[in-house]
């Protein structure tokens, strides 16, 4: 009886093993190898690696920018800061731009940049000629000690915009009037445009 139990268990083990499917991870490729004959050269077979090509960060030198007015109402102003990749290679933007208002002489004007979370920061890869945008929002209603008669602040002529993780700015024309509320501008992270 004991011998019969061992034989049955052994047969079941073989049957279960034969019915199972090999387990492979999704996205991986298994290449069967062989042992070469003595003295023969071995040429490795290329296998897919699943690694994406390396993309560099976008820099001010490889971008042009513009501010596009999108909406206005009840003292609020909305615009998009759009950048376009003018380089010959793809590049990536991840996160928020720096943004400083400038007068006609290039001197900084009061600017209080506030990051908003919608959309959340995510990598945006720009092919040559590709564009990304960040949303801007500000008020034209004077606040605090800002003058109520006439413009609340000096009007900006340009803005110095710094791509994420960079230090050199690109200059973009402003032309959208004064920014009240202490120069406060809300800015979103870049997204594909």
60-70 confidence digits (pLDDT tens)? 999 999 999 99
Structure confidence at residue 49 as a pLDDT band (50, 70, 90): low
Structure confidence at residue 148 as a pLDDT band (50, 70, 90): confident
* pLDDT at residue 50, rounded to an integer: 62
Domain that holds residue 86: 56-192
Domain membership of residue 46 (yes or no) is no
Domain membership of residue 4 (yes or no) is no
Domain membership of residue 42 (yes or no) is no
Domain membership of residue 19 (yes or no) is no
Give the DSSP letter string of the chain: -HHHHHHHHHHHHHHHHHHSPPP--TT-------PPPTT----PPP----PPPP-EEP-GGGEEEEEEEEEEETTEEEEEEEEEE-SSS-EEE-S--EEEEE-TTS-B---EEEE--SSPP--EEE-TT-EEEEEEEEE-S--TTS-SSS-SSPPPSEEEEE-TT----EEEE--S----TTTEEEEPPPEE-
- The rounded mean pLDDT for the chain is 81
Domain total in the chain? 1
* pLDDT at residue 175, rounded to an integer: 94
Question: What is the percent of the chain with per-residue pLDDT over 70, rounded to a whole number?
Answer: 72
* pLDDT at residue 52, rounded to an integer: 60
* pLDDT at residue 149, rounded to an integer: 85
Tens of pLDDT, residues 108-147: 999 999 999 999 999 999 999 999 999 999 999 999 889 8
Domain membership of residue 84 (yes or no) is yes
CATH of the domain at 137: 2.60.40.10
Tens of pLDDT, residues 74-103: 999 999 999 999 999 999 999 999 999 999
Domain membership of residue 20 (yes or no) is no
Domain membership of residue 40 (yes or no) is no
């Amino acid at each position: 009886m004991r011998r019969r139990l061992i034989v049955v268990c052994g047969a079941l083990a073989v049957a279960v093993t034969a019915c199972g499917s090999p387990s492979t991870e999704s996205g991986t490729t298994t290449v069967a190898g062989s042992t070469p004959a003595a003295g023969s050269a071995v040429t490795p077979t290329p296998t897919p690696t699943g690694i994406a090509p390396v993309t560099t960060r976008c820099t001010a030198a490889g971008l042009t920018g513009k501010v596009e007015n999108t909406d206005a109402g009840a003292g609020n102003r909305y615009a998009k800061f759009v950048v376009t990749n003018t380089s010959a290679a793809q590049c990536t933007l991840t996160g928020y731009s720096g943004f400083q208002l400038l007068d006609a002489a290039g001197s900084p004007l009061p600017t209080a940049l506030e990051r908003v979370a919608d959309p959340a920061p995510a990598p945006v890869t720009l092919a040559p000629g590709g564009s990304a945008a960040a949303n801007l929002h500000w008020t034209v209603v004077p606040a605090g000690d800002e003058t109520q008669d006439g413009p609340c602040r000096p009007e900006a002529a340009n803005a110095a915009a710094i791509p994420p993780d960079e230090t050199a700015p690109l200059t973009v024309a402003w032309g959208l009037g004064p920014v009240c509320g202490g120069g406060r501008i809300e800015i979103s992270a870049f997204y594909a445009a």
